[in-house]
Amino acid sequence: MATFLDVYTLSLNKKGEELCGDTVKIFKTDQKTTLVLSDGLGSGVKANILATLTASIIVTMLRQNAPLKDVISTVIGTLPMDQSRRIAYATFTIVEIDHATSTFRVTNFDNPPAFYLKQGVIQSLPVRIENILGKKIKFSEGTLEKGDFLGVISDGVLYAGLGITMNFGWGWKNVAAFMTGLFSRRIFTARSVVDGVIAKTRALYGGEIGDDATFAGILARTRNDVMVFTGPPLDNGHDYDHVNRLLQFGGRKIICGGTTANIVAQYLKTEVVSDISTLREEIPPIGRLPGIDLVTEGIITMARALEYVKNSDDDLANIPDDRNGAVMLARELLLADAIHFLVGQSISAFYQNPLLPKNISIRRTLIEQLAETLRRMNKDVYVDYC
């Protein structure tokens, strides 16, 4: 598809509870992105189990391409009703987005309606209702184009302010108006919208969270791609083939490693120029090359960047406020949606652990750890060895 689906979720636990009673599960294939939000009845451990069970059933069946009606019937048939209140043990919202057509479908069972903003303006989604096993299931459809936003919530978001600043809580319309206000400023990520709504929800609760509150947002936007070329290739006769691949890459271009940088410099018939202002006691300075967005030293810088990324919780605010190679590399990786690692396998004796086999390099280990960490942050990561 022409746009990238930026997905981000955030929850507030009810006061005194270690576990959230809401669960969000996301899975992507080449054809489709699916998000499921389930709200378990009550709060704490029981609600968490119910929500997790509901979301897991839905995701598992959809992953096996089960018809949606069969999925819904299975969930409704599996989870009983609360006998005293005559309500479902867990509610759910399913969002499915087709990558080829950018069309989406929202399936809702007893959760608040979805928020659909087209170019920052709230839109009304037509609702179709079907009766499945005696339950009213609501369906809405639309198209998610670049700049559009789709958000789903648990009802704990709407209850914020109940009996404090608003008689009936924040309410759907007020949440929609607040999001429209956010989009009146420039919005670059789903996180900025979700963080804003959840921060307002927390404030309206006065810090005393009265119910589990979850917001999951999807922003269609331009995809941020990064290629990291690190390490000289095994066959130096093909060095320039890999340099060409880097230079022709459509996204941000990064080089990690002095030897790698020199290979590119030779191809460009220039030299790497060091920026001494970025030198730190334990981190070598960055370099400059025309057409390359960032040039750093290799092993030492990548190892420190890995620490920063691991400790960031996928939040740039948790990256140190410094201008050194490791910080700059960590920022590039966190800002990227997809990272393409082009890893040369020629091993420097200086960095090789003598206790390891020759085919297991420190560089390769670092890249594998970085890739694993970034994938856990829902980034697309590709590693090619050369």
Domain 4-221 has CATH 3.90.550.10: no
Contact 326, 304 (CB under 8 A): yes
- Where are the domains positioned within the chain? 4-221, 225-385
Report residue 101 as tokens.
Answer: 């057509």
Angle at the Cα of 129 (from 127 to 132), degrees rounded to 5? Answer: 150
0.95 exceeded by pTM: no
What percent of the chain clears pLDDT 90, i.e. is strictly above it? 70
Q: How many CB atoms lie within 10 A of CB 241?
A: 11
Residue 369, pLDDT score: 95
Mean pLDDT of 143-164: 89
Q: Is the confidence at residue 142, as pLDDT, over 90?
A: yes
1 confidence band (pLDDT: 50, 70, 90): very low
347 confidence band (pLDDT: 50, 70, 90): low
Which tops the pLDDT comparison, 41 or 61? 61
Q: Is the confidence at residue 357, as pLDDT, over 80?
A: no
What dihedral do alpha carbons 246, 290, 281, 228 form, nearest 10°?
A: -10
Q: Is the confidence at residue 349, as pLDDT, over 60?
A: no
Residue keyed to tokens 């022709």: 248
pLDDT tens for 62-81 read: 999 899 889 998 988 877 66
Residue 251, pLDDT score: 94
Residues 6+ apart with CB under 8 A from 375: 381
167 confidence band (pLDDT: 50, 70, 90): low
Q: Is the confidence at residue 10, as pLDDT, over 50?
A: yes
Which of these, 129, 43, 47, 133, lies nearest to 90 by C-alpha position?
Answer: 47
Residue 308, pLDDT score: 96
pLDDT tens for 199-227 read: 999 999 987 899 999 999 999 998 899 99
386 confidence band (pLDDT: 50, 70, 90): confident
Q: Is the confidence at residue 377, as pLDDT, over 70?
A: yes
pLDDT tens for 313-341 read: 888 889 999 999 999 999 999 999 999 99
359 confidence band (pLDDT: 50, 70, 90): very low
Which residues make beta-bridge pairs with 367? none
**Distance between CA 80 and CA 278 in Å, rounded?**
61
Q: Is the confidence at residue 195, as pLDDT, over 70?
A: yes
